[in-house]
Amino acid sequence: MKYYGALEAGGTKMVLAVMDENGNTVRQESIPTKTPAETMPEMIAFFSAYAISSLGIGGFGPLNLDRNAAEYGHIMETPKLPWRHYPLLQAFRDALQVPVGLDTDVNAAALAEARLGAARGKESCLYVTVGTGIGGGVMIHGKPVHGLMHPEIGHISVSPVPEDPMPEGICPYHAHCLEGLASGPSIEKRWGISARELPQGHPARDIESAYLAQLCANAMLTFSPDMIILGGGVMQQKFLLPMIREKTLKLLNGYIAHPAVSEGLEHYIVTPGLDTRSGITGAWLLAMEAEAALY
Amino acid sequence: MKYYGALEAGGTKMVLAVMDENGNTVRQESIPTKTPAETMPEMIAFFSAYAISSLGIGGFGPLNLDRNAAEYGHIMETPKLPWRHYPLLQAFRDALQVPVGLDTDVNAAALAEARLGAARGKESCLYVTVGTGIGGGVMIHGKPVHGLMHPEIGHISVSPVPEDPMPEGICPYHAHCLEGLASGPSIEKRWGISARELPQGHPARDIESAYLAQLCANAMLTFSPDMIILGGGVMQQKFLLPMIREKTLKLLNGYIAHPAVSEGLEHYIVTPGLDTRSGITGAWLLAMEAEAALY
């Protein structure tokens, strides 16, 4: 049996797992994300207890994913100051002496959904998590998309909904960006209650689904993914998905003549096939790829 | 010497070329786009005069590009009714008895810019033409993107600019979509003059560049292309490009920490390297690929 390390590195917690070559979890733990000085030794100890063949990391960003850059594998201009410019990939490689694969947390989740989850068998997909923040991972031609940096789809600008009492949103960088208008904290700021407390008929339901429908419609028009997968805490509210589909159809207004659309988007805008395990499963896939890249 | 057919199939005119294996143009002609019954025989006669090895088409859409679909190679729900559901690819294959490659006109242009133009050597780019309509082609991981259908980035929704006297736009499908607000005809409708007649200080300059900046910023955040190339008739107005760069920077507001951005986007948002020949060159590349796919 071979062991692989998988790390879902989040801004508030780190999910660590050791998995075998079939994806079975041997051990899993969550620890709070403190400073590198505090958290790195804990994580290194966790992985060092097993003879792992490689490590895969799905990390919070922004990340430098340019293999030719001096700062490849570093966390970039994050608001989590102790981690800013931290050489995440190198630190693990030096400590564990194994190949390390790295991508954004959401690209890792998109990878897992495309290989083993809802978008299995598809060449492309968009995975978006709607929670404390909003982030998106993109798979195209069977591979995660980096490009200039990596997708940051949470920060696209959307048109304020006329009924929205807080149409500027709460993003410190951008007026009316998606994250500022549709993240969990934006719901709480606007209404004083959380997404899971919104009663039937509450105007927040319409507003939230309208913003996420703009995301879906614009993503479809921009790069035409084969599937859109919406995960994260806010999407746990089951009323949202059908509302988002309906509003996306209205926005497209018949423009995309494809069966997936005319059938009502039921099999096109979906929740994750791997439930809450997309991210850690993606990290495991990154570990497998990092090992394979050696040969 | 080998000959290849290249066709840039537009809604108002067809550009036909015969080129050799080095991309030299042997013969080129433009004819008006009438009905298939009128225009197809003319085009077939043009290409039949040479022993072409294959044909490449960059076509107006929407197109069915799904190789597994019964309607692969057909033009879909176009407003140009005589061409609706016309089997463009099959008609040429049957008449010419050569392999035929097909993609959207803008994907063909993006392909040419990525292989031989402004984005040469880059893995990804977005090519947008701003003219009578607005369309976009996307290259990622070195290949044109189709996905569910193909990008239709002209129809993304943008936020109306407060100073815009016509904030709904003129698209019959979508209120405040990019094409409805920033195409050549939208400028004419709004101001009674064309893009090339806009004097210095005219408010249209600010409004036009603001919409195109929204396109650039949202595309960067959505799929992070390595370069954005803006072509088409409206972009012939040289005042636009620097204004678009400046407004894109403002919209991003420091969020994408990358040298291409901090250097002012001068080498990131650019005009086509192949000038007005991106489309026909892309059609030629599609012809070469269609021939190679046979072996």
Q: What is the DSSP string of B170-216?
A: S-SS-TTBHHHHHSHHHHHHHHSS-GGG--TT-HHHHHHHHHHHHHH
pLDDT class of B50 with cuts at 50, 70, 90: very high
With a pLDDT cut of 90, the percent of chain A lying above it is 97
Q: Which of A222, A256, A260 sits opposite B219 (nearest CB)?
A: A222
For B103-124, what is the mean pLDDT? 98
The answer to whether the CB atoms of A152 and B221 lie below 8 A apart is yes
How many helices (H) and strands (E) chain B has is answered by 9, 10
Q: What is the pLDDT of residues A13-37, one digit of tens each?
A: 999 999 999 999 999 999 999 999 9
The confidence score (pLDDT) of residue A295 equals 58
In chain A, residues with a C-beta closer than 8 Å to the C-beta of B136 are 222
Q: Is the pLDDT of residue B293 over 90?
A: no
For B181-185, what is the mean pLDDT? 98
The confidence score (pLDDT) of residue B284 equals 98
CA distance A145 to chain B (A): 7
pLDDT class of B294 with cuts at 50, 70, 90: confident
The confidence score (pLDDT) of residue B79 equals 87
The ipTM is 0.96
Q: What is the pLDDT of residues A229-283, one digit of tens each?
A: 999 999 999 999 999 999 999 999 999 989 999 999 999 999 999 999 999 999 9
pTM reported for the whole predicted model: 0.96
Cα separations in angstroms, B201 against B191, B198, B237, B268: 14, 8, 14, 26
The confidence score (pLDDT) of residue B56 equals 98
**Type of residue numbered B217:** A
Interface test with B, best of A67, A74, A148 (most B CBs within 10 A): A148
Count chain A–chain B contacts defined by CB atoms under 8 A: 150
3-state secondary structure of B256: coil
In chain A, residues with a C-beta closer than 8 Å to the C-beta of B140 are 140-141, 145, 147, 223
The confidence score (pLDDT) of residue B295 equals 58
For A142-164, what is the mean pLDDT? 96
For A85-102, what is the mean pLDDT? 97
Name the more confident of A164 and A61.
Answer: A164
**Integer Cα distance of A60 and A106 in angstroms:** 8
3-state secondary structure of A17: strand
Average pLDDT across chain A, whole number: 96
For B206-225, what is the mean pLDDT? 98
Q: Which of B145, B149, B154 sits opposite A140 (nearest CB)?
A: B145
pLDDT class of A197 with cuts at 50, 70, 90: very high
For A66-86, what is the mean pLDDT? 93
Q: What is the DSSP letter of B49?
A: T
Query: Which of B275, B285, B289 lies closest to B118 in space, CA to CA?
Result: B275
Q: CA of B254: which chain A residue's CA is closest?
A: A173
In chain B, residues with a C-beta closer than 8 Å to the C-beta of A181 are none
CA distance A221 to chain B (A): 5
pLDDT class of A294 with cuts at 50, 70, 90: confident
